[in-house]
Amino acid sequence: MVESSDPSMRTVTVELGDDRTYPVHVGRGAVTRLAELIPERSRRVAIVTQSGIPHTIDTGRDQRVFVIGDGEASKTLSTIESLCESFAEWNLTRADAVIGLGGGLVTDVAGFAASVYHRGLPVIHVSTSLLGQIDAAIGGKTGVNLPQGKNLVGAYWQPRGVICDTEFLDTLPEREWRCGMGELAKYHWLGGGRLDELDLDDRVAQCVRIKAEVVASDERESSRRAILNYGHTLGHAIEVAGDHQLRHGEAVAIGLIYAAELAQSLGRITADDVAEHRRVVAGYGLPTQIPDDLGDDELITLMGRDKKVLDAGLTFVLDGPNGVEVVHSVDPELVRSTLAALR
């Protein structure tokens, strides 16, 4: 990872294998760095966005806006198909570029379309949500949902660069802001420390640095990258069991506290460590208890379907003496009894 020497702009360079690198520009006004990320030879730029995104960008090229629908229901293969058809009708070529302008859903879809259209063309993400800036836009995971589950079809397709203009966050609705904080909270235990004491630009940049380092160490999630799912095992189960009444970041916040309680039950961390998890999550105004209508049996069944599971026990990402790591074969009875700590 390399830092820019420009003090007004925090630039983190994601360093992958085979000399593949890309910059992530973080800060107010970072969008002014967009033009330099577009390949010189690109004549056309396809901007993929949603109608509710209140931002426009000027690429200085022949540009066209392609609007996709809102919500998870739009994150489908048919959206990819219709985007690619529209690209073809406009004669977009492999020398051109795609820009994802929006939150995580937009950058996941734009990135996937870019990965398959003409067998791959450059993509740049201009992330407009807190959750996107600290997580989804960085690291090259792209994809869409199937009726059978979320993000089941996709590709690793690294962007040429990412813009995290924190000025865009000024217009973020309150709940989306809070959801971003739920995802951000996990970085406190992934090496971020007291992120809540930093100003927003430094906080976003610090999360980007951590994510860049983890992705650089395990681009295709053969092992370590899974620590980015800290708090997600119960979090995902709560989202699904509650029919998405709690949003992703809110559910992950509860999942972080649960992971801490479970780690303490396993003797991996102390009561003070658990209290610190509760302090951080509550400090970001996030929920700390499992909703009453979600039963233990359903949550345990859903946690057992987690992609990380290898055997009869359950698998979690847990804090411990060596930091946060993936822990397999956790006793289902302990998993059940620990749920009571969040009731």
| Beta bridge mates, 44 | 62
Q: Is 183 labeled as catalytic in the residue annotation?
A: yes
Choice from 135, 165, 219, 319 touching ligand GLY (CB under 6 A): 135
Nearer to ligand GLY, 27 or 154 (CB): 154
Q: Is 221 labeled as catalytic in the residue annotation?
A: yes
**3-state secondary structure string, the chain?**
CEECCCCCCEEEEEECCCCCEEEEEEECCHHHHCHHHCCCCCCEEEEEEECCCCCCCCCCCEEEEEEECCCHHHCCHHHHHHHHHHHHHCCCCCCCEEEEEECHHHHHHHHHHHHHHHHCCCEEEEECCHHHHHHHCCCCEEEEEECCEEEEEEEECCCCEEEEEHHHHHHCCHHHHHHHHHHHHHHHHCCCCCHHHCCHHHHHHHHHHHHHHHHHHCCCCCCHHHHHHCCHHHHHHHHHHCCCCCCHHHHHHHHHHHHHHHHHHCCCCCHHHHHHHHHHHHHCCCCCCCCCCCCHHHHHHHHHCCCCCCCCCEEEEECCCCCCEEEEEECHHHHHHHHHHHC
Q: Is 250 in the site for ligand GLY (CB under 6 A)?
A: no
User: Which segment (11-19, 67-75, 135-143, 302-310) binds ligand GLY by CB under 6 A?
Assistant: 135-143
Q: Is 276 labeled as catalytic in the residue annotation?
A: no
Report in angstroms the alpha-carbon separations of 141 from 20, 54, 109, 204.
Answer: 16, 25, 10, 19
Q: Which of 33, 225, 239, 250 is catalytic?
A: 225
Q: Is 25 labeled as catalytic in the residue annotation?
A: no
User: Which segment (61-69, 134-142, 149-157, 273-281) binds ligand GLY by CB under 6 A?
Assistant: 134-142
Q: Is 225 in the site for ligand GLY (CB under 6 A)?
A: yes
Q: Which of 183, 219, 239, 250 is catalytic?
A: 183
- Minimum distance of ligand GLY from residue 282's CB (angstroms): 23
Q: Is 89 labeled as catalytic in the residue annotation?
A: no
Strand order in the sheet with 161-165: 2-3, 10-15, 21-27, 161-165, 123-127, 97-102, 44-50, 62-68
Nearer to ligand GLY, 10 or 225 (CB): 225
In the complex, which residue's CB is closest to ligand GLY? 228
Q: Is 229 labeled as catalytic in the residue annotation?
A: yes
Q: Is 279 labeled as catalytic in the residue annotation?
A: no
Q: Is 228 in the site for ligand GLY (CB under 6 A)?
A: yes
- Minimum distance of ligand GLY from residue 292's CB (angstroms): 29
Q: Is 125 in the site for ligand GLY (CB under 6 A)?
A: no
Q: Is 12 in the site for ligand GLY (CB under 6 A)?
A: no
User: Which segment (133-141, 155-163, 173-181, 254-262) binds ligand GLY by CB under 6 A?
Assistant: 133-141
Q: What is the CA radius of gyration of the chain?
A: 20
Count, residues near ligand GLY per rule CB under 6 A: 5
Q: Is 319 in the site for ligand GLY (CB under 6 A)?
A: no
CB 212 within 8 A of CB 232: no
Nearer to ligand GLY, 225 or 236 (CB): 225
Choice from 100, 111, 122, 139 touching ligand GLY (CB under 6 A): 139
- Minimum distance of ligand GLY from residue 206's CB (angstroms): 16
Q: Is 225 labeled as catalytic in the residue annotation?
A: yes
Q: Is 141 in the site for ligand GLY (CB under 6 A)?
A: yes
- Minimum distance of ligand GLY from residue 189's CB (angstroms): 15
Q: Which of 248, 250, 261, 277 is catalytic?
A: 248
Q: Is 159 in the site for ligand GLY (CB under 6 A)?
A: no
Site residues for ligand GLY per CB under 6 A: 135, 139, 141, 225, 228
Catalytic residues: 119, 141, 183, 211, 221, 225, 229, 232, 236, 248
